[in-house]
Chain A
Amino acid sequence: MPEIDIQHINKRFGKIEALHDINIMVEQGEVFGLVGPDGAGKSTLFNILTTLLLPDSGQVDIMGMDVVKDYLQIRQSIGYLPGVFSLYPDLSVQENLAFFATMYKSSVLDNMSLIKPIWKQLLPFKDRPAGKLSGGMKQKLALCCALIHKPKILFLDEPTTGVDPVSRKEFWDILKDIQHKNVTVVVSTPYMDEATRCDRIALIQNGNIIKIDTPNNIISNFRGHLYTVKMDDIFGLMQLMNQFELTCNYYPYGEHFHIAFYDEVEKALPAFERFLQDHGRQYGEIKPITPNIEDCFIELMQMS
Chain B
Amino acid sequence: MKELRMILYKELIHIVRDKITLFLVLAIPIMLVLLFGFTISTEIRNAKVAVLDQSKDSQSVALIDKISSSGYFQVVAYPETESEIDRDFKEMDIKLAIIIPSEFEHSLEKEKIATLQIINDVSDLNVASVLNNYLQAITHDFITEYNHKGSESGTVEMVTNMRYNPEMNSVYMFVPGIITLIMIIVTALMSSITLAREKETGTMNMLLITPVKKVYVIIGKVIPYMCLSLISTAMIILISVFVFKMPVNGSIWLLLLLCIIFMFTAASFGMMISAISKTQIDAMMVTMMGLFLPTVLLSGFLFPLDNMPMFFQVLADVFPAKWFIIAIKDVMIKGSGFFDIWKYLGILILMAIVLITISLTNVDKRK
Do these two chains really belong together in a complex? Answer: yes
| Surface stretch bound by B, among A73-81, A223-231, A249-257 | A73-81
> Interface residues of B: mostly helix, strand, loop or mixed?
helix
Is B212's CB within 8 Å of the partner chain A?
A: yes
Interface string of B205-234 (1 = CB under 8 A from A): 111111110000000000000000000000
Establish whether residues B202 and A75, one from each chain, have CB atoms under 8 Å apart when the complex forms. no
Give residues of chain A (51-94) contacting chain B, Cβ–Cβ below 8 Å.
51-52, 54, 71-72, 75-76, 78, 80, 82, 84-91
User: How many Å lie between the Cα of A208 and that of B367 in the bound state?
Assistant: 27
Is A50's CB within 8 Å of the partner chain B?
A: yes
**How far in angstroms is the closest Cβ of chain B from A133?**
15
Is B163's CB within 8 Å of the partner chain A?
A: no
**Chain B, Cβ-Cβ closest to A146:** B206
Establish whether residues A145 and B202, one from each chain, have CB atoms under 8 Å apart when the complex forms. no
| Surface stretch bound by A, among B13-21, B46-54, B128-136, B172-180 | B13-21
Establish whether residues B206 and A95, one from each chain, have CB atoms under 8 Å apart when the complex forms. no
Cross-chain contact of A82 among B3, B6, B205 (Cβ < 8 A)? B205
Is B2's CB within 8 Å of the partner chain A?
A: yes
Establish whether residues A90 and B210, one from each chain, have CB atoms under 8 Å apart when the complex forms. no
Establish whether residues B210 and A82, one from each chain, have CB atoms under 8 Å apart when the complex forms. no
Establish whether residues B366 and A71, one from each chain, have CB atoms under 8 Å apart when the complex forms. yes
Known: A52-B366, A54-B366, A86-B201. A75 touches B17 (CB 8 A): no
Establish whether residues B13 and A91, one from each chain, have CB atoms under 8 Å apart when the complex forms. yes
Number of interface residues of B (CB under 8 A): 21
User: How many Å lie between the Cα of A71 and that of B211 in the bound state?
Assistant: 10
**How far in angstroms is the closest Cβ of chain A from B10?**
5
Complex interface: chain B residues within 8 A of A50 (CB) = 205, 209
Is B203's CB within 8 Å of the partner chain A?
A: yes
Establish whether residues A52 and B367, one from each chain, have CB atoms under 8 Å apart when the complex forms. yes
Cross-chain contact of A75 among B2, B10, B203, B211 (Cβ < 8 A)? B211
Known: A75-B211, A86-B201, A102-B2. A51 touches B206 (CB 8 A): no
Give residues of chain B (176-207) contacting chain A, Cβ–Cβ below 8 Å.
201-203, 205-207
Is A16's CB within 8 Å of the partner chain B?
A: no
Complex interface: chain B residues within 8 A of A75 (CB) = 208-211
Write 16 A-B pairs (CB below 8 A) sorted by A numbering.
A52-B366, A75-B211, A78-B209, A80-B206, A80-B209, A84-B201, A87-B203, A87-B206, A88-B14, A95-B13, A98-B6, A100-B206, A103-B3, A103-B210, A104-B210, A105-B2
